[in-house]
Amino acid sequence: MNNRDWAALCFIPATVLVAPVFAQDYLSVAQAQHALFPKADSFVDSTITLTSEQRDRIKALAGVRQRQEKPPVWKAMQGGKLQGWLLVDEVIGKHEFITYATAISPDGTVLGVEVMSYRETHGGQVRDAAWLAHFAGKHLSDPFKLDQDVPNISGATLSCRNITDGVKRLLALHKVVLAS
């Protein structure tokens, strides 16, 4: 390569340096807890360490693997009674990770989902209450298929697919580990 070719290629890393960073953190853990369990008076840290056998069973139920060995989990309590479980999880977006929280009732029903961090510039509709509402009331036996029981968002299909698969995986985690 001659000097002209190298000079042209050097523009690419220079542009990366000046490109704006678009990381967006919308909810902290505390905010997600209260948004999903507004009546809870306390949250008990119940972070678990999964065995490889548990992760295999989760994958068998959900169809996707459980990447995190120590998923953050909290018990939502009201007056000393268990209201449900709050799980914080990460899935892959087009370029970066998406952080979201899922509230699951003691009997394994999705109570709600909130997107805590969305770092893609397009596809921000995954944060809309109207889209997230499709997860409320779901059980592990539901299809969790885009354009079947969860609508797809054009241009953010991978994000929609991974969040949908993620919520199903968290229901599987609940069944394997928390329900007992």
Query: Taking the complex as a whole, how short is the minimal distance between the CB of residue 130 and other proteins, in angstroms?
Result: 18
Contact range with other proteins by CB under 8 A, out of 25-33, 69-77, 116-124, 172-180:
116-124
Q: How far is CA 65 from CA 105, 174, 177, in A?
A: 22, 14, 15
- Output 75 or 168, the one with its CB closest to other proteins: 168
**Closer of 16 and 130 to other proteins (Cβ):** 16
Q: Is 103 helix (H, G, I), strand (E, B) or coil?
A: strand
Site membership for other proteins, residue 64 (CB under 8 A): yes
* 165 lies in the binding site for other proteins (CB under 8 A): yes
User: What is the rounded distance in angstroms from the CA atom of residue 13 to the CA atom of residue 103?
Assistant: 41
Q: Say how many C-beta atoms besides its own lie within 10 A of residue 146's C-beta.
A: 15
Closest distance to other proteins from the beta carbon of 51 (Å): 21
Q: What values do phi and psi take at 150, rounded to 5?
A: -130, 125
**Judged by CB under 8 A, which stretch of 12-20, 34-42, 45-53, 132-140 contacts other proteins?**
12-20
Q: Virtual CA dihedral for 142, 137, 62, 170, nearest 10 degrees?
A: 180
Please tell me whether residue 17 binds other proteins under the rule CB under 8 A: no
Q: Does 18 bind other proteins (CB under 8 A)?
A: yes
Tokens read off for 137:
């009331």
E strands, 10-144, in order? 42-45, 73-78, 81-92, 97-104, 110-117
Binding site for other proteins (CB under 8 A): 1, 4-5, 7-9, 11-12, 14-16, 18-22, 64, 91-92, 94-97, 119-122, 146-147, 152, 154-155, 157-158, 160-162, 165
